[in-house]
Structure 1
Amino acid sequence: MAEFQFQQIDVFSAEPARGNPVAVVIGADGLSTEQMAACANWTNLSETTFLLQPTMPEADYRVRIFTPRTELPFAGHPTLGSCHAWLAAGGQPRGNTIVQECGLGLVPVRAHNGCFAFAAPPLRRSGTVQPDLLHRVADGWTDNGPGWLSIMLGSRREVLALEPDYAALSDLCIGVTGPWDPIHDGQQAQFEVRAFAMACGVNEDPVTGSLNAGLAQWLIGSGLAPRHYIASQGTCLGRAGRVHVDQENGKIWVGGVATTLIEGVLRL
């Protein structure tokens, strides 16, 4: 049995235990894929990550990301939580921007005063959904790894009122967004987001960086959102997620607060 540094990070909320948790195993190079998958199934969080030595010379560290059911090439809140854990464990970036290596490739990450942001990876797929899916959901793909089917509704109220048939949509990952009404909803955010990730073994994810990254590229690119906005997510789960989106020099950054809530030793 080997011992590993372990942290559980709350991401995308300034309020403790009201964001999205990610479990991070540090120095996990000695673990097999099967051990990582079993550990992620055991934590039963939406994602568990494993920090490894990089294989690409440009990278500061490498991460593998697992849901309870499968491995992902990229995911947003695990990227921010993993970067936070890597720095907390003594990681030293080579430059002003931290470079993460993951299944999708290299992802730049910025860190400042407890806030973290990643540069949104290019969409692997975009455009209209296949006709046979239109009657089940609708509207557009924003795929940067997990394969999100993204839908925009008319209001925050409509988004919060959704009651999905999880069994009927069990093979899909569906993201839904709708605008806040500043008069009725306030001005803390401009969009409400919900993420239904049944295909990854998670009915509803509390706060989802990869989905928000894909949505931002779609919404800003089509003129439906400003270059800088805040998305609220996790409301129906009792969370207070806030995702900050900024378009700078043609690149979209997705970020929020990350805080360590659990720290200790994992024995595998």
Structure 2
Amino acid sequence: MLGSTAMTHPFHIVDVFAERPYAGNQLAVVTHADDLSDETMQQIATEMNFSETTFVYNAPERDGGHRVRIFTPAREIAFAGHPILGTAWVIREQIAPGSSAPVRLNLAVGQVPVTFEAAADEAETAWFRAPQVTSGATCDREPVAAALGISPDDIETTSPIQQMTAGISAMIVPLRSLDALRRCKLDLDAFAPLTRQGFPSLVYLFCRETHHARNDLCVRFFFEAHGVREDPATGNGAAFLGAYLLQHPILPGSSLSLRIEQGYEMNRPSLVRLRAGTADGTPEVSVGGRVIPVIKGELL
């Protein structure tokens, strides 16, 4: 309670998919969350006002995983990428220090293991294997262009606009240029006819033109949470994109290892790593990025 000196709920703010502090996508991770009600978790997530806030329960469950719940400022969701990586980092550093085993998160979509990979010439990267992604309906360019404030000619025709799903759903939209990507802004009123057709108001846009030559794709992600918000880095969107690119091979090679830039329009440059391939006929998609701690404290 406010005014009390007891502090029972530590929290950590980390920047995920960041190459430096105060970049990437912010995440608040609240630990010792067992006694928090659903309503209180939602209120805390709204107070934090990041794309997502996660809540970690104290004791590992029987299968060795840590129960984790993910909230946006508006609702609880089943799956999101940067909360997986950031929460796993906090668990490893604060709850299970010294362990070299994968950190296993028990989410609404099932258990997701996170591994940590260090290269000699790079900082440590956290990786998660995406749950199964299913492809859904495709959509014409014209209504999507109208909802984004661009011309239908700004949208690629070599691969479709398509809904992808893993716990939540998003629309993958291929664009022709970085200029088109910069001009996009989601209009929920203009998107309403698509919503009535069953398409989600979560839109992941990508193009092959990039800010930096060493990167492979540039992306943006818009979603609805008390109005339109933009994500500076989107792990679940990258997982959707990996499955999409395996289905629509617009990039060379049967296996992909990509550097995806995001967040430049928000002054929070981000780098998302994506690996995608097929093993025994089954698509396998992994998403990785750096996690940088910036703030720790206690909820009063």
TM-score greater than 0.5 by the shorter chain = yes
| Structure 1 residue 146, shift from structure 2 partner | 2.8
**Aligned mates of 2:50, 2:181 — CA distance in 1:** 23
Contact between 2:113 and 2:129, CA under 8 Å: does it hold in 1?
A: yes
Contact between 2:261 and 2:272, CA under 8 Å: does it hold in 1?
A: yes
Q: Which residue of 1 aligns with 2:150?
A: none
Contact between 1:50 and 1:64, CA under 8 Å: does it hold in 2?
A: yes
Q: Which shifted more, 157-166 or 232-241?
A: 157-166
**Aligned mates of 1:163, 1:49 — CA distance in 2:** 27
1:156 to 169, 178, 188: 178
1:179 to 200, 208, 218: 208
Which AA in structure 2 matches 1:255? G
Query: How do 1:237-256 and structure 2 match up within 5 A?
Result: 237-247=266-276, 249=279, 250-256=283-289
**Aligned mates of 2:227, 2:48 — CA distance in 1:** 13
2:291 to 236, 240, 258: 258
Q: Which residue of 2 aligns with 1:128?
A: 137
| Structure 1 residue 128, shift from structure 2 partner | 2.5
Closer, same or farther: CA 218–177 of 1 in aligned 2, 3 Å: same
SS in 1 for 2:20: coil
Closer, same or farther: CA 44–263 of 1 in aligned 2, 3 Å: same
**Aligned mates of 1:229, 1:12 — CA distance in 2:** 14
**Aligned mates of 1:58, 1:94 — CA distance in 2:** 16
Deviations 1:116-138 (A, max 9, x none): 11101111x4133367x962357
| Structure 1 residue 201, shift from structure 2 partner | 5.1
1:116 to 119, 126, 145: 126
| Structure 1 residue 88, shift from structure 2 partner | 1.5
**Aligned mates of 2:226, 2:63 — CA distance in 1:** 30
Closer, same or farther: CA 162–136 of 1 in aligned 2, 3 Å: closer
Q: Which residue of 1 aligns with 2:94?
A: 89
Closer, same or farther: CA 159–21 of 1 in aligned 2, 3 Å: same
Q: Which residue of 2 aligns with 1:195?
A: 221
User: 1:219 and 2:245 equivalent?
Assistant: yes
Contact between 2:27 and 2:52, CA under 8 Å: does it hold in 1?
A: yes
**Aligned mates of 1:48, 1:65 — CA distance in 2:** 6
SS in 2 for 1:28: coil
SS in 1 for 2:21: coil
Closer, same or farther: CA 202–22 of 1 in aligned 2, 3 Å: farther
| Structure 1 residue 40, shift from structure 2 partner | 0.4
Deviations 1:57-78 (A, max 9, x none): 3242111000000000010001
**Aligned mates of 1:51, 1:266 — CA distance in 2:** 14
**Aligned mates of 2:51, 2:15 — CA distance in 1:** 12
| Structure 1 residue 222, shift from structure 2 partner | 2.0
* TM-score normalized by the length of structure 2: 0.80
Contact between 2:92 and 2:99, CA under 8 Å: does it hold in 1?
A: no
Q: Which shifted more, 152-161 or 136-145?
A: 136-145
2:263 to 234, 240, 249: 234
Closer, same or farther: CA 141–48 of 1 in aligned 2, 3 Å: same
Contact between 2:260 and 2:272, CA under 8 Å: does it hold in 1?
A: yes
- Percent identity over paired residues: 29
Which AA in structure 2 matches 1:228? S
Q: Which shifted more, 33-42 or 103-112?
A: 103-112
- Root mean square deviation, CA, Å: 2.4
Which AA in structure 2 matches 1:77? H
Which runs of 5 or more residues in structure 2 are unaligned? 2-6, 119-123, 146-159, 196-200
Closer, same or farther: CA 105–210 of 1 in aligned 2, 3 Å: same
Contact between 1:54 and 1:101, CA under 8 Å: does it hold in 2?
A: no
**Aligned mates of 1:255, 1:201 — CA distance in 2:** 29
Residues paired across the two proteins, number: 262
Contact between 1:177 and 1:193, CA under 8 Å: does it hold in 2?
A: yes
2:163 to 121, 141, 146: 141
**Aligned mates of 1:4, 1:97 — CA distance in 2:** 24
